[in-house]
Structure 1
Amino acid sequence: MNIYQPRYSAIALAITLATQVSPAAAEQATQSEGKLERIEVTARKTVENLQTVPVAVTSIGETDLLENGISVLSEVQQFSPNTTLQASRGTNSTLTAFIRGVGQQDPLWGYEPGVGIYVDDIYLARPQGAVLDLLDVQQVEVLRGPQGTLYGKNTIGGAIKYVTKEMSGDATFNVEGTVGSYNQRDLKITGQLPLVEDTLYLGYGFATLNRDGFGEFKVSTLPGQDKENYNKEIQAARLTLEYRPSDDLFFRLAWDKTDDDSNSKGGYRLLPSLLTDAPVPDSVFDSYTSMPTWNKVELEGYSLTARWDLSDATTIKYIGASRDSYSPTNIDFDNTPLRIFDVPAIYDDEQTTHEIQLSHAGNGYKFVSGLYYYDGESCGQFQAILEVLGQSLGAPGLTREVSGCNNSNSKAAYIQGTIDLAEQWSLTLGARYTKDSKEAQVSNGLIFDVVYPESNWIPGYTRPAGELVPSVLDDEEDWSRFTPRVGVEYQYNRDIMFFASYAQGFKSGTFNPRASTAEPAADPEIVDSFEIGMKSEWNDNLRANITLFTLDHKDRQYISVLPGATSADLNQRLGNIGKSTANGIEAELSYVATEALSFDAAIGYIDSDFEEVLDTNPDTGATFDKSDRFSISNTPDLTFNLGATYKLYSDIGDWVFNASYYHRGDYVLFEEDSLLTQDSYGLVNLSINWYSTDGNWRVGLHGKNLTDEEYMIGGYQFVTPDPSDPSNVSKYTPGLGGDNTLIGYFGDPRTVSLTVGYRF
């Protein structure tokens, strides 16, 4: 189960920074006659009408982000069917994403995500690197299904794109303050300054986001620790320089930096501790810890975009970027005042990317092609501190230390185009060739003492000098893959299009960052997907986009926990265990009833299951299938969001009322023998927005989770059912550390916030 920390995500900050301006006037112009708004997307790396794109894509524009009070990435999942977006364990800003049952929940260095994250076509390779503040977001796009042709590896589930606006016009300055539940205190400043009229612009943004915790750490053995749990403390800044020397040339140089000093998350003990007398807390947001409560995420990035319109039909574009992230974090797995199973860790990532794109639209055809290069270094270390267990063995303590790097290099060439076969028929063909190289070093071993990653990790602690554990893995591997896409489209009339497609994606092979021996790398994962869909608009006020899909997920990578000689062993093996399948349907509906009233719905249903999970009996060497013990994690069978918007235009300003109900069906948190299942639940959200008649002032009142639902979105399980009575779910055998470690992390409680913004 994953530690849920979306409140602290700097991607969340990205959205809040980006949605400062008032789009009400444009919205009025678009829908004043009760007609659907035209939506443009960049899903195929060119700007196209959503209704002409034969891809299952959800676009959430700045108007929806603003008027629904969306401030965290996890809320974006409400708008996209069969989509899970949450924050993961380890750091406050690490992303876990699943689309159509495909993703990666373990954020350890070296593991590759299954859903790609892009900011203006810049790929963020690591989940810790998927958190940055953005300025002037135009829209967020969720592309469902493998995107292996245009977006490459690690998009086997889909891709999430943040599209920012280019600057133009006069100088602007926006300031916005928010107060709310749990002493929320936010200040955001954004704007642009023309340095040379119509030629050179400077954009800027700054935000400080703060909130007290939803709960607290009841007991901490370390003095002077901040006891706020689920709090928020973020500062972020961004500068953008845009240069237009002519109508045909555009350059953008951008810098961003985010510092997240929110506390580490404490989990909720679902079972009483066997080794302490601390009771199960009254609140799911309360916890115990024997670790420091501080946490840090530092992110910084630079990017350069250059675009040259060679003609009205041909454009060449270069995108280069460099990003760094550093995160020391504290995870108390057992959540007790004793060091039963404490895991301090450090994540340190760097990446550099370059991409050249060429797009052309001719008579009856169009295409996008490109060359891509990625070089990344992903390093880290963690200590599994089992002090109580070590003392029971007569030692001062016991620590399993794991450290290393999993570095990769990737080169790719791609092309995708559409050819008109007849007046109503068209054919889409795409291909990408990728060459991956990866090298890994892992050190892993036991230390019969309590060891932290660095000196002064806790007051007065000094780390011993030198290498403490042996190197167990030093290897490298290469993989290459050709990923195709084939589709056919039929334009029934101006407003209705049918499409069918086949697409393939792959997730990179990788080494095991927790390896205890020189084990080989796991091969890449492959997903083959078939879709049949319809994009339609009826009578200018009803949009119905429907997609049916089926996918085969082969060579799934999985970490198996192997039994050791003692409970101190943390032996984990990475391998390709088998395959799974999924079949489903997605419907996105918009209905403009009048010029004042509109309705939206996003509905997803998926039937996903493991077809084969192969393992080897360590005693006999025989291979056996254990798929009956596996479930697709983080994937409800049914998700839907029903929303309504009402607009009232008056002499004192314009009012926009939003109401929505979001439902998620049952889901498990782990693939194998999951003991953590979240029952279905629903979230009720209400928003009231007011815009002044001069367009300068905006006030937003937002209520989230108004029924105060408690829902689990992450956790840890280090217990097993009692083998003497496996049918009794209340009886467990202690796991690593010798305690009943079954921990839950929960989504936000009911919150209400008031935002006041002024623009000039």
Structure 2
Amino acid sequence: MQIFTRAHLRRVLLVTVSGSLLFAAAPVLAQDLPNEAKQADRAEQSPSFNEIIVTAQFRAQNLQDTPLSITAVDANLLASRNQTDISQIAAQAPNVQLTQMGGAFGSSMAVYVRGIGQYDFNPAYEPGVGMYVDDVYYATLTGSIMDLLDLDRVEVLRGPQGTLTGRNSIGGAIKLFSVKPGNENSGSVEVAYGSRDRTDLRGSANFVLTDNLYARIAAVHKRQEGYVDQVDFGCANPGNALGIGARPSTPSDCVVDKFGEKNYTGLRGSLRFNPDDKLDWTITGDYTYENRSYSASVLTVNDTSKTDGINFICGRFCTYADFFAPAGGAVDQAYYMPSKTKFKGWGVSSNLSYEFSSHLRLQSITAYRRYRQVFGTDDDFTPNPNIVGAGFNDLKFRFFSQELRLSGDIGPDAEWTLGGFYSDQKTLYFTRQDIRYIDYAFCGGMGFCNLQFQGNDPVNADSKAVFGTVIVRPTAELTLTGGLRYTKEHKDYTFVRKGLDGGVLNDSFGVGRLDGLVGLYDGDRVDWRISADYRFSPEIMGYATVSTGFKGGGVVARPFTALQAINGAFDPETLTAYEMGVKTDFFGHRVRLNLSGFYNDFKNIQLPISDCSVLDELPVGTGTNTCAAIQNAGDGKMYGVEAEVFANLVDGLDIDASLSWIDGKWKRIDEVVGGAIKIGDPITTPNWKWSAGIQYRADLGDAGSITPRFDLAYTGKRSVGRLTLASPLEYRPDFVLANARLTWKNKDEDLSISFEVQNLFDKYYLLPLRFVAVYATAGTGYSTVGRPREWAVTARKTF
């Protein structure tokens, strides 16, 4: 791999910026225009784009005036791309990956921006990318697969956001903003029907209650049959060598369930009090319910030498997983784990802003949230009675947060913001684990330890922070920004380990000795940001920024020994990010091109380790391979470039495209990682992503209009790790997905009918993460399958 030095980076960024300036056709500089006049001048010259106003720097700014790498998408573009849940946004966002997780992780989503993020839902670990809805922070990956209900826009902010949002966010932030209640009586109703009995119902209504009090309510229900058959192995394979018979209730086609279904209901209501230009207060409540089958997973790895000579791979869209645990172990009875995932959550928030004067403003954001999620797992994903791996998970979560921001200005050329953030969260994590498949080498000649236990672990975490940002304009064209943040965090994890019957856990391995132990983490950190942007003309703005961020530390969530729990605390991973970019509008403001280049210095990376010897107070390499810990075990660097283009060269014709490239290398991999990651491995994948979309609105006069749209999204090859420490690194192949949509609107544009096809060419692909934690003993691993070709017809009426 070629070494990419800082000198190389500077040359790449210089070429990026210089090329953009030349491509902009050398417009006349607007040296004498003040900042507000320049924004107005650009607005008058930009009839082709919906100008998106963002609030990434605590104030309303045009997207093109914000010195940050932001992908901002408004509601119209979301609708035209068929995007209805948050995970779909990644297709067009450069260097962003939002992956719905497999069944072992419940209703959660892996979120990565520029190669930095988190995939594990466990409350002992922090998200790497901040998720916000109406400026309210969502503290866990669980429940993050949100429907894009009644949205105004989505902002994807890259890079550390420690000084610019409520919570420290090392990889960036994804912020959803819903439509505020307004001074009008209006509403909409939308109905969709499609493949596999897909039925979507959406609606929203806005009410004027008094001259200064407004209300808004929105709701969604989505239901669709799954696309992976859960097949009864005994029914489909009578007389099999394992003697597995059919279940008594199995249908004649042997299909007992459909994995990958949708069954989601969401409701949001807001009340807004806006008596004058000084006070604006919105109170919001929301409710989410999900009850669906297991994720659309199939067995993709099967070592028949470990599965009694039987290949349990069923096919591209089917599985033999049975979620059944036969009798055996300390509790000698058979049982089924649930193959359903259930999630129920609600929250309330208050967003109050008050303007004391034209130079002093206050904003207060208060939120409370609760949820409960229940799901089961079949770790080996086979019906083999000789390999038992099953789990039951029940998470109860509550979260409170308070953020205060005081902002003002000193004359026309200086602005400031001071703020504080506090959050307190608690999770009660009940689990039943039956992992009889693990063959411990030191079980005293017992071979299999028959490890079965239940936990009921309280996990507490709180975060306190103060932050500030100053924006100064020495000249009309130059803006300087500085930010500072101090954060203090605490986390404690109490381990409860009982037998499956609730009694004392007597096990040969010693997991029972964890009962009552507490893992602790405490830490604090200072982060900063320095940025400069220069308005070369109304059409061109260039910027450069350096910032730091971190992902909070934590404790080992899945220890196997008492010492692993006591010694398992790990520190934050840290990032210093360098970025340069340009934002341009040219050709009469009919083409918009935004470019950025970045270099990330990534340290103390939190990695899964395979050797817990040090935690067990043994020399490295002398312990067992029974280890599921996270530690600060690596350093690395990442670098890349991103481009986004929007064009409207002809009235009615809109084109959007994006391109991103990222690469990097590991600088340090600790020995305790054990070969799962090697120093020459890629630090992040995929290296390349691109997307392109085109639509044309044809005016039909009194008959309305018709708009065809076509989208392509490419994802490069992605690493899925190694099956064993001695195995080569494996990759998912690259793929392209195509979507098409045809929309008719009536003349008044209050009625539309659309026909859409997603995954138009029926591409078969697997999502990047696979579950192979049991491969060493069970010989199996499973992956989630992407959605096949689907069609839908949607009718929408506004009033």
TM-score range (shorter-chain normalised) is: 0.7 to 0.9
1-structure distance, mates of 2:74, 2:734: 28
1:550 paired to 2:599: yes
Q: Which residue number in structure 1 is paired with residue 275 of structure 2?
A: 245
The counterpart of 1:371, out of the listed 390, 414, 420, is 420
> 1:523, 1:576 within 8 Å by CA — same for their partners in 2?
yes
1:471 paired to 2:509: no
2-structure distance, mates of 1:442, 1:630: 35
1:523 paired to 2:571: yes
> Residue 667 and residue 389 in structure 1: after superposition, are their counterparts in 2 closer, same or farther (change >3 A)?
closer
Q: Which runs of 5+ in 1 are unaligned?
A: 1-29, 452-462, 619-623, 720-733
Q: Which residue number in structure 2 is paired with residue 661 of structure 1?
A: 712
Q: Which residue number in structure 2 is paired with residue 725 of structure 1?
A: none
Q: Which residue number in structure 1 is paired with residue 690 of structure 2?
A: 640
* Structure 1 letter corresponding to 2:642: E
TM-score after normalising by structure 1: 0.85
Give the C-alpha shift of residue 141 in structure 1.
0.6
The counterpart of 1:200, out of the listed 203, 209, 213, is 213
2-structure distance, mates of 1:152, 1:580: 27
Q: Which residue number in structure 2 is paired with residue 113 of structure 1?
A: 127
Deviations 1:698-717 (A, max 9, x none): 21212111111122214445
> 1:579, 1:612 within 8 Å by CA — same for their partners in 2?
yes
2-structure distance, mates of 1:439, 1:617: 25
> Residue 511 and residue 480 in structure 1: after superposition, are their counterparts in 2 closer, same or farther (change >3 A)?
same
Structure 1 stretch 642-651 or stretch 285-294: which is displaced more?
285-294
1:229 paired to 2:282: no
Q: Which residue number in structure 2 is paired with residue 686 of structure 1?
A: 740
* Structure 2 letter corresponding to 1:704: Q
Cα RMSD (Å) of the superposition? 3.0
* Structure 2 letter corresponding to 1:333: D
1-structure distance, mates of 2:173, 2:46: 34
> 2:149, 2:218 within 8 Å by CA — same for their partners in 1?
yes
> Residue 426 and residue 169 in structure 1: after superposition, are their counterparts in 2 closer, same or farther (change >3 A)?
closer
Q: Which residue number in structure 1 is paired with residue 754 of structure 2?
A: 700
* Structure 2 letter corresponding to 1:608: G
1:582 paired to 2:638: yes
Q: How many residue pairs align between the two structures?
A: 694
> Residue 131 and residue 268 in structure 1: after superposition, are their counterparts in 2 closer, same or farther (change >3 A)?
closer
1:149 paired to 2:163: yes
After superposition, residues 350-369 of structure 1 pair within 5 angstroms as: 350-361=398-409, 362-369=411-418
Deviations 1:188-217 (A, max 9, x none): 222122222x32222212222100111211
Q: Which residue number in structure 1 is paired with residue 509 of structure 2?
A: none
The counterpart of 2:658, out of the listed 602, 623, 630, is 602
Give the C-alpha shift of residue 368 in structure 1.
2.5
> Residue 566 and residue 702 in structure 1: after superposition, are their counterparts in 2 closer, same or farther (change >3 A)?
farther
2-structure distance, mates of 1:436, 1:387: 37
Q: Which residue number in structure 2 is paired with residue 67 of structure 1?
A: 80
Point out the structure with max Rg over C-alpha.
Answer: 2
The counterpart of 1:282, out of the listed 308, 315, 336, is 315
> 2:553, 2:570 within 8 Å by CA — same for their partners in 1?
yes
> Residue 174 and residue 464 in structure 1: after superposition, are their counterparts in 2 closer, same or farther (change >3 A)?
same
After superposition, residues 162-177 of structure 1 pair within 5 angstroms as: 162-177=176-191
2-structure distance, mates of 1:505, 1:245: 39
> Residue 34 and residue 252 in structure 1: after superposition, are their counterparts in 2 closer, same or farther (change >3 A)?
closer
Question: Partner of 1:288: helix, strand, or coil?
Answer: coil
Q: Percent identity over the alignment?
A: 25
> Residue 409 and residue 467 in structure 1: after superposition, are their counterparts in 2 closer, same or farther (change >3 A)?
farther
Structure 1 stretch 285-294 or stretch 158-167: which is displaced more?
285-294
After superposition, residues 252-267 of structure 1 pair within 5 angstroms as: 252-265=282-295, 267=297
* Structure 2 letter corresponding to 1:315: R
Q: Which runs of 5+ in 2 are unaligned?
A: 1-42, 234-245, 251-255, 324-336, 507-511, 614-620
Give the C-alpha shift of residue 563 in structure 1.
7.8
TM-score after normalising by structure 2: 0.81
The counterpart of 1:430, out of the listed 460, 470, 483, is 483
2-structure distance, mates of 1:613, 1:353: 36
Structure 1 stretch 655-664 or stretch 266-275: which is displaced more?
266-275
Question: Partner of 1:77: helix, strand, or coil?
Answer: helix
Q: Which residue number in structure 1 is paired with residue 140 of structure 2?
A: 126
After superposition, residues 21-100 of structure 1 pair within 5 angstroms as: 35-89=48-102, 90-100=104-114
Deviations 1:541-560 (A, max 9, x none): 11111001000110011121
> 1:68, 1:702 within 8 Å by CA — same for their partners in 2?
no
> Residue 646 and residue 551 in structure 1: after superposition, are their counterparts in 2 closer, same or farther (change >3 A)?
same
Question: Partner of 2:91: helix, strand, or coil?
Answer: helix
> 2:312, 2:382 within 8 Å by CA — same for their partners in 1?
no
> Residue 101 and residue 133 in structure 1: after superposition, are their counterparts in 2 closer, same or farther (change >3 A)?
closer
* Structure 1 letter corresponding to 2:96: T
Question: Partner of 2:543: helix, strand, or coil?
Answer: strand
> 1:314, 1:358 within 8 Å by CA — same for their partners in 2?
yes
2-structure distance, mates of 1:270, 1:393: 31
2-structure distance, mates of 1:118, 1:557: 23
